[in-house]
Amino acid sequence: MTMRVLVLPLFQMSSGHHKVADVLIDSLQRQFSFVNCRKVDFLSYCNEYIEKLVSEVYLRWIRSHPSSYHHIYKMLMYRDVQRSEWIHLEPWLPYFEHKMKRMLEKEEPHLIVCTHSFPSRILQRLKRRRLVDVPVINVYTDFFMNGVWGKKGIDYHFVPHQEAKQELILKYGIAKDRVIVTGIPVHETFMARKYGQRGTSYRPHLLVAGGNQGLGNILDFFRKMKGSHRFRYSVLCGNNKALYEEILRWKQPHIRPLPYISSIEDMNRLYEEADAVITKPGGVTVSEVLHKRIPLFTIGYLPGQEQINLRYLEAKGLIYNLSRMDHYEQKIWHVLNDEMEQSRFYKRIAEYFSQIEQTAQDSLKKLVLMQEKNEKALSK
């Protein structure tokens, strides 16, 4: 038999939701010849015009009014929305439910994986009314679970840490065996560990990343580094051509701008070359860097989920926050050259990974095999 697995992010634009979806699809298709995976951006499926409009408004909003975005995000997404059920979206929910049912009738999946909260919420509503009986898995892509995710109506949860597992068990009454601490999924290529530094007799290599859209305070970062030549820099500009061309115009041999990188192997090579990574606190990128055991710094963050991620990461000592500093060079140099500080940082990373029960790839593999067994039993 062919097992159909439907994977649901939300938007078309490249994001952690898509990266996690691709990681899981790649793993399944390499392991099972009988599995057919299909990734569907749920919002585009419903209406491409709405998806384009929402994406554009989102990017403009977080760039021009970050404080108001964070306030609205916390009010509508961070808190649990069971009571209000998104009152402002209530008239639209039947529309999305209808679209979801139509999609499931067409795709006939044996298993559904949600990497974004909104499809999960719609599926919870349908499952509670027994309109959908396909097993659904939530795969969380941040270091917290926002209030939009479906919880009680969802079959399995792949969570980032033990605190999230306890929240689902104690607050929502989810059975313990339905919640697996997987961490935020990353490709197996990034799971090879990197330890130690190469000494202080050379120029450390800093990998500066602003996300796929080239967002982040990258130009401000170089201003606050005061043109320091103590480091070499590789700057990931993503799809931000203006940033890429601006850095090229500097004609600084120790600063190398890079366009969007899609190759996992190329990205892994960059990680291997880096002595430290300066990036935004997005769930997937941070998880990749932590797996590589590379010192991690942030110079800024997007409002909403990244700001909340940062709160968790700082509390666990997994990231160095430079955003409140006027000068960066001294702090970065200290972390990279103080053996005791590095030892403490590696210990905190080890403590974080010690709570992982199983990788998302292995957990999904088990569920696929279990579902295959159930399907065969039903067909007899």
Q: What number is the average pLDDT over the span 322-346? A: 92
Q: Give the pLDDT confidence score for residue 218 in this predicted structure.
A: 78
DSSP 63: H
Residue 1 has pLDDT above 90, yes or no: no
More confident residue, 53 or 36: 36
Alpha helices by DSSP H, 114-257: 117-128, 162-172, 218-224, 241-250
Q: Residues with Cβ < 8 Å from 28, sequence gap 6 or more? A: 5, 35, 37, 364, 365, 368
Q: What number is the average pLDDT over the span 4-18? A: 83
Residue 319 has pLDDT above 90, yes or no: yes
Q: Give the pLDDT confidence score for residue 212 in this predicted structure.
A: 47
* Mean pLDDT for the chain overall: 85
Residue 71 has pLDDT above 70, yes or no: no
Q: Give the pLDDT confidence score for residue 79 in this predicted structure.
A: 53
Q: Give the pLDDT confidence score for residue 131 in this predicted structure.
A: 95
Q: Give the pLDDT confidence score for residue 315 in this predicted structure.
A: 96
Q: Residues with Cβ < 8 Å from 324, sequence gap 6 or more? A: none
Q: Give the pLDDT confidence score for residue 91 in this predicted structure.
A: 61
Sorting pLDDT into bands at 50, 70 and 90, what band is 215?
Answer: very low
Residue written as token pair 């974080």? 352
- Is-contact 380 17, C-beta < 8 A? no
On the CB side of 169, how many CA atoms lie within 13 Å of its CA?
15
Residue 190 has pLDDT above 90, yes or no: yes
Sorting pLDDT into bands at 50, 70 and 90, what band is 56?
Answer: low
**Percentage of the chain exceeding pLDDT 70:** 82
Domains and CATH numbers, the chain: 3-183+356-379 (3.40.50), 191-354 (3.40.50.2000)
Q: Give the pLDDT confidence score for residue 224 in this predicted structure.
A: 86
Q: Give the pLDDT confidence score for residue 195 in this predicted structure.
A: 61
Residue 135 has pLDDT above 90, yes or no: yes
Q: From residue 109, how far is each of 27, 186, 368 by CA, in Å? A: 18, 24, 12
Sorting pLDDT into bands at 50, 70 and 90, what band is 320?
Answer: very high
Q: Write the pLDDT tens digit of every residue in 146-172.
A: 888 999 989 999 999 999 999 999 999
